[in-house]
Chains A and B, each alone.
Chain A
Amino acid sequence: MGHEGIGASVKRREDYRFLSGRGRYTDDINRPRQTHAAFRRSDVAHGRIRGIGTEAAKAMPGVIAIFTGADFAAEAIGGLPCGWQVHSKDGSPMAEPAHPVLAQGKLRFVGDAVAMVIAETREQARDAAEAIELDIEALPAVADLRAAMAEGAPLVHDDVPGNLCFDWHIGDAAAVDAAFSGAHRVAKIDLVNNRLVPNAMEPRAAIGEFDRASGDYTLYTTSQNPHVIRLLMGAFVLHIPEHKLRVVAPDVGGGFGSKIFHYAEEAAVTWASAKVNRPVKWTCERGEAFITDAHGRDHVSHAELALAEDGRFLALRVKTAANMGAYLSTFAPSVPTYLSATLLAGVYTTPAIYAEVRAYFTNTVPVDAYRGAGRPEATFLLERLVDVAARELGMDRIAIRRRNFIPADAYPYQTPVALQYDSGNHEATLARGMEIAGWAGFEARRAEAKARGRLRGIGISTYLEACGIAPSKVAGALGARAGLYEVANIRVHPTGSVTVFTGTHSHGQSHETTFAQLVSEQLGVPVDQVEVVHGDTARIPFGMGTYGSRSLAVGGSAMVKAMDKIISKGKKIAAHLMEASAEDIEFADGKFTVAGTDKSKAFAEIALTAYVPHNYPIEELEPGLEETAFYDPKNFTFPGGCHICEVEIDPETGLVAIIGFTAVDDIGRVINPMVVEGQVQGGIAQGIGQALLEQAVYDEAGQFLSGSLMDYAMPHADDLPDIVVGTESTLCTHNPLGVKGVGEVGAIGSPPAVINAVVDALRDYGVTHVDMPATPQKIWRIIQAGAPRMAAE
């Protein structure tokens, strides 16, 4: 057995079942006597329901029942709750309009659910849903931020004036104004963070089941956090006490944030399973996913950076409008505020920052966290603005970054926007990134490309982000309506094998492997003697799930805490067996040893003694070897790094080809380098997708134009380059493993590196910014517009 603990690229234990077709995703599950649900959805962006004709549909073959919003209203079923309350500048709480499970009175986006059909087969349910007759009075819609903000705009919610959800701010406006008045120069930028569709490859699905004999409900669902769904749906929507509600999130085929949220279909199938007294299954089609899964990003910002003559950043001022969509999704209000504006210091010592964020309702799909959630938006804004500042001052892009870096010895570092960073070393990741990417030799490559008629550019982003949102007390004060701890239960079996029950959830992150490595390292048990259990509220203690790159930093820390208790108890048992004092027992490599002697007991022996306590300190110690720990982090963790992208543009077509991409990320201690590399590469693929390809498009009437994989440009294999990944490790100072998180760094650091490279390639064309996605048409137009001027010069 080679080394398989912390730092080893152990091959994944989940792979065999996925590679042999034996994964168990929600749609793979079929329950006895199961029925099928289909939803009739709005095809107008905004409308008033005049009538819903269900008689003809009810008479169709196989149809068991049809429910509408009125059925939910009659039983006072609650609306879908929002998990984060933001307050406006004036102290008033955000507008929080009701979000009914099925529409009541008004339809507010294309995709809004009007009615649910339950039938014997999926096809029968879909046929009947289509046959429902809708009488809708179409209303004028607001399809984007500009329309929502316009004077006299139609109202998405009649009781929310100006469509304004909240008007929030952070930072010291007076200090920023003072710094601007003394600035040498001011760099400015207007930019859009383009709206995206997460598109996890597994479409959402849900099966509700009710057992009339016991009164127990079970929901199988494609979720990143089954306990959060149980709490929100049980306590706020359906009023099912938690001991009567089990939520199972089995294998989940990717989430990227979109499967954090509590969706209407989960509540609908659970409720309906009691009504029809049979299991109810719903599986989303891709086209349906496009108009019902929460979208991501969709911010419009103006930012200004006050500069000293030597390139120092004096102050930053940011104004952002954020699109919430038609209703508040579970964590939507936190994304543009506490998860974004608090990151505006980035890796720089900017002494004064002031940000204002206005959030608006529109007649579009709700918008919420998508891989990175707020930090990609802040990073894109800041790293683009730094490049603009360098050009404004005629400074080198690297030099201006170095001038403003928070020095490694300045940590812990208090930013002017609430966060206190614990550790980082930006010079180290920058230097390593530049070396790997061959930054110094770039101009020769640019000249060589020019000789071939190509425009070559290089771009960099030096970023920092915040993971493992915490601590609960602070998050609560800022509006979170949930705890942000994590839980682990470690059950040592009599023969010394171990089952770990974690509140986090793996949907591609490889927890079954990395968590087993962590246990192997701490307890000295071989990896194949460790089982990791997640995703079932009937088996695991109450945990918060997986999002915000928290699983190892928060969930792993809970495991370490629980294992510390195991070791502590094991020492007492060992002391008894070896007739020594517990203080003299040392534990290492799976052995309890009496210090300074060769007397030792193996971990498995101690486990057996705990469960067969014939020779046991039974007066002082309970039998058994199983511990639970809840871990509430002291702070966020702060991964960061340097991403460098090199592109070539064909001026004839405007096509941007990525020639090379280098990422050097500081994510703290690494458990499994192979898994880390995969996470970074996957995140960068999504970042490149945002920068060059992806865009969710609504027309003025609120019709969704990019509603299929034929219309929405997902990155394919030939759109992406080889991605070179390096890591640096400055340890997190406040969790026991020194880990920071890796799930989102790729999606956060990469978009500005790509666009900075594109702008660099176009530097002779008089552009200082290109909005994402940088499509061939957009680039071609810039080149066409710029060429004559260049010729005239």
Chain B
Amino acid sequence: MPQVTLMVNGKQATAEVEARTLLVELLREKLGLTGTHIGCDTSQCGACVVHLNGRSIKSCSILAVQAEGADVLTIEGLAAPDGTLHPMQEMFREHHALQCGFCTPGMVMSAIDLVQTHPEGMSETEIRESLDGNICRCTGYHNIVKAIAAAWPLMQGESAQAAAE
């Protein structure tokens, strides 16, 4: 069986996988990172979104072996070591942007990528259009859009602070 070595949430991980094993299966079944979810089998729902080398990706849409040497960030790696939530997580909580929680990890990872790639900000209409790759059945998206809009200035502030330091 092929072996794959990659960085996950800042730690090196090595696992034996089948050639057909998907990245999401590697994360969930071999590495025990069950925060990344599988909600469909056609790459529509976005519950499995993680960051691969800094960009969001549906982890059901690549093979585990393709992630060899990559740097992967999952929902489990977002909060600070002391448990303090990332601003996007915090705004999801503040604005009640989750109900059953199943789509939430993918939604949060997508939303962070959205802010990082659009430092100029987005209108609520643009946020809605940009969320096309993530499906939520509980919230009607209303509060998800509010949470993402609220996280924007917080994340910008954070990166400005990081640049100053």
A19 to B100, CA, bound (A): 11
Contact between A18 and B101, CB atoms less than 8 A apart? yes
**Residue ID in chain B nearest A24 by CB atoms:** B34
**Residue ID in chain B nearest A200 by CB atoms:** B137
Q: Does B78 contact A (CB under 8 A)?
A: yes
Q: Does A212 contact B (CB under 8 A)?
A: no
A679 to B100, CA, bound (A): 11
List the A side residues contacting B34 at CB < 8 Å: 21, 24-25, 27-28
From A27, A201, A674, give the contact of B45 (CB < 8 A).
Answer: A201
List the B side residues contacting A201 at CB < 8 Å: 37, 39, 45, 47, 100, 102-103, 135-138
List the A side residues contacting B20 at CB < 8 Å: 123
**Residue ID in chain B nearest A255 by CB atoms:** B100
Of A572-580, A611-619, A714-722, which stretch is located at the interface? A714-722
Contact between A507 and B93, CB atoms less than 8 A apart? no
List the A side residues contacting B141 at CB < 8 Å: 685, 716-717, 720
Q: Does A524 contact B (CB under 8 A)?
A: no
Q: Which of A123, A251, A675, A716 has the most CB of B within 10 A?
A: A716
Mark B14-58 against chain A: 1 for CB-CB distance below 8 A, else 0.
Answer: 000010100000001000011111111110110100000000000
List the A side residues contacting B100 at CB < 8 Å: 200-202, 251-254, 507-508
Q: Does A244 contact B (CB under 8 A)?
A: no
Q: How far is the CB of A570 from chain B (nearest CB, A)?
A: 34
From A27, A677, A709, A717, give the contact of B127 (CB < 8 A).
Answer: A717
Contact between A21 and B98, CB atoms less than 8 A apart? no
Q: How far is the CB of A646 from chain B (nearest CB, A)?
A: 16
Q: Does A599 contact B (CB under 8 A)?
A: no
Mark A267-304 against chain B: 1 for CB-CB distance below 8 A, else 0.
Answer: 00000000000000000011100000000000000000
Contact between B128 and A717, CB atoms less than 8 A apart? yes
A685 to B128, CA, bound (A): 14
Contact between A19 and B108, CB atoms less than 8 A apart? yes
Chain A, range 13-60, C-beta contacts under 8 Å to B: 14-25, 27-28
Q: Report if A14-B101 is in contact (Cβ < 8 Å); known contacts: A28-B34, A722-B142.
A: yes
From B47, B78, B134, B139, give the contact of A678 (CB < 8 A).
Answer: B139
Q: Does A730 contact B (CB under 8 A)?
A: no
Q: Does A420 contact B (CB under 8 A)?
A: no
From B79, B93, B98, B135, give the contact of A714 (CB < 8 A).
Answer: B135
List the B side residues contacting A18 at CB < 8 Å: 98, 101, 104
A509 to B138, CA, bound (A): 9
Contact between B85 and A20, CB atoms less than 8 A apart? yes
Contact between A21 and B36, CB atoms less than 8 A apart? yes
**Residue ID in chain B nearest A21 by CB atoms:** B35
A677 to B99, CA, bound (A): 12
Interface size on B (CB < 8 Å)? 56
Q: Does A256 contact B (CB under 8 A)?
A: yes
Contact between B101 and A23, CB atoms less than 8 A apart? yes
Contact between A723 and B40, CB atoms less than 8 A apart? no
Contact between B92 and A25, CB atoms less than 8 A apart? no
Chain A, range 228-261, C-beta contacts under 8 Å to B: 251-254, 256
From B42, B47, B103, B142, give the contact of A723 (CB < 8 A).
Answer: B142
Contact between A286 and B45, CB atoms less than 8 A apart? yes
Q: Does A684 contact B (CB under 8 A)?
A: yes
Q: How far is the CB of B8 from chain A (nearest CB, A)?
A: 12
A686 to B108, CA, bound (A): 22
Contact between B78 and A20, CB atoms less than 8 A apart? yes
Q: Which of A252, A510, A685, A717 has the most CB of B within 10 A?
A: A717
Q: Report if A286-B140 is in contact (Cβ < 8 Å); known contacts: A200-B100, A678-B96.
A: no
List the A side residues contacting B83 at CB < 8 Å: 20
List the B side residues contacting A199 at CB < 8 Å: 137
Contact between B132 and A718, CB atoms less than 8 A apart? yes
List the B side residues contacting A723 at CB < 8 Å: 140, 142
Q: Does A792 contact B (CB under 8 A)?
A: no
Q: Does B89 contact A (CB under 8 A)?
A: yes
Q: Does B75 contact A (CB under 8 A)?
A: yes
Q: Report if A508-B99 is in contact (Cβ < 8 Å); known contacts: A27-B38, A681-B139.
A: yes
Chain B, range 118-163, C-beta contacts under 8 Å to A: 124-125, 127-129, 131-132, 134-145
List the B side residues contacting A285 at CB < 8 Å: 41
Q: Does B74 contact A (CB under 8 A)?
A: yes
Q: How far is the CB of A648 from chain B (nearest CB, A)?
A: 15
Q: Which of B34, B94, B125, B140 has the most CB of A within 10 A?
A: B140
Q: How far is the CB of A289 from chain B (nearest CB, A)?
A: 9
Q: Does A708 contact B (CB under 8 A)?
A: yes
Q: Does A445 contact B (CB under 8 A)?
A: no
Mark A121-157 against chain B: 1 for CB-CB distance below 8 A, else 0.
Answer: 0010000000000000000000000000000000000
A42 to B94, CA, bound (A): 46
Q: Does A12 contact B (CB under 8 A)?
A: yes
List the B side residues contacting A123 at CB < 8 Å: 18, 20
Contact between B98 and A717, CB atoms less than 8 A apart? no
Q: Does B68 contact A (CB under 8 A)?
A: no
Mark A673-706 against chain B: 1 for CB-CB distance below 8 A, else 0.
Answer: 0110111011111100000000000000000000
List the A side residues contacting B140 at CB < 8 Å: 681-686, 715, 720, 723, 746
Contact between A15 and B93, CB atoms less than 8 A apart? yes
Contact between B102 and A681, CB atoms less than 8 A apart? no
List the B side residues contacting A510 at CB < 8 Å: 99
Contact between B85 and A253, CB atoms less than 8 A apart? no
List the A side residues contacting B38 at CB < 8 Å: 27, 203
Q: How far is the CB of A557 from chain B (nearest CB, A)?
A: 23
A212 to B71, CA, bound (A): 45
From B41, B102, B104, B137, give the contact of A19 (CB < 8 A).
Answer: B104
Q: Report if A685-B96 is in contact (Cβ < 8 Å); known contacts: A21-B76, A202-B39, A708-B42.
A: no
From A22, A23, A256, A674, give the contact of B96 (CB < 8 A).
Answer: A674
From B41, B132, B134, B139, give the contact of A286 (CB < 8 A).
Answer: B41
A217 to B81, CA, bound (A): 39
List the B side residues contacting A709 at CB < 8 Å: 40, 42, 44-45, 135
Q: Report if A710-B44 is in contact (Cβ < 8 Å); known contacts: A254-B102, A723-B142.
A: yes
Contact between A716 and B96, CB atoms less than 8 A apart? no
Q: How far is the CB of A576 from chain B (nearest CB, A)?
A: 44
Q: How far is the CB of A649 from chain B (nearest CB, A)?
A: 19
A626 to B8, CA, bound (A): 46
Q: How far is the CB of B51 from chain A (nearest CB, A)?
A: 13
Contact between B99 and A20, CB atoms less than 8 A apart? no
Q: How far is the CB of B28 from chain A (nearest CB, A)?
A: 8
List the B side residues contacting A683 at CB < 8 Å: 140
Contact between B129 and A718, CB atoms less than 8 A apart? yes
**Residue ID in chain A nearest B78 by CB atoms:** A20
List the A side residues contacting B85 at CB < 8 Å: 16, 19-20
A92 to B96, CA, bound (A): 50
Q: Does A473 contact B (CB under 8 A)?
A: no
From A251, A710, A716, A722, give the contact of B132 (CB < 8 A).
Answer: A716
Q: Report if A20-B42 is in contact (Cβ < 8 Å); known contacts: A507-B100, A678-B143.
A: no
Q: Which of B33, B41, B132 has the most CB of A within 10 A?
A: B41
From B94, B102, B132, give the contact of A202 (CB < 8 A).
Answer: B102
Q: Report if A253-B35 is in contact (Cβ < 8 Å); known contacts: A674-B96, A717-B145.
A: no
Contacts A16-B85, A286-B40, A508-B100 aside, 17 further interface pairs with beta carbons under 8 A come to A18-B104, A19-B104, A20-B35, A20-B76, A21-B76, A23-B101, A23-B102, A201-B47, A203-B38, A286-B41, A678-B96, A681-B143, A682-B139, A685-B141, A714-B135, A717-B127, A722-B124
20 CB contacts below 8 A, A to B, read A11-B94, A12-B98, A15-B101, A19-B92, A22-B76, A25-B102, A200-B102, A201-B47, A253-B37, A254-B102, A286-B42, A287-B41, A674-B96, A681-B143, A682-B138, A708-B40, A708-B44, A716-B141, A717-B141, A718-B128
Q: Nearest 9 pairs between A and B by C-beta?
A: A21-B35, A18-B101, A253-B102, A685-B140, A508-B100, A508-B99, A709-B44, A21-B75, A28-B34
What is A's interface to B at a CB cutoff of 8 Å?
Answer: 11-12, 14-25, 27-28, 123, 199-203, 251-254, 256, 285-287, 507-510, 674-675, 677-679, 681-686, 708-710, 714-718, 720, 722-723, 746
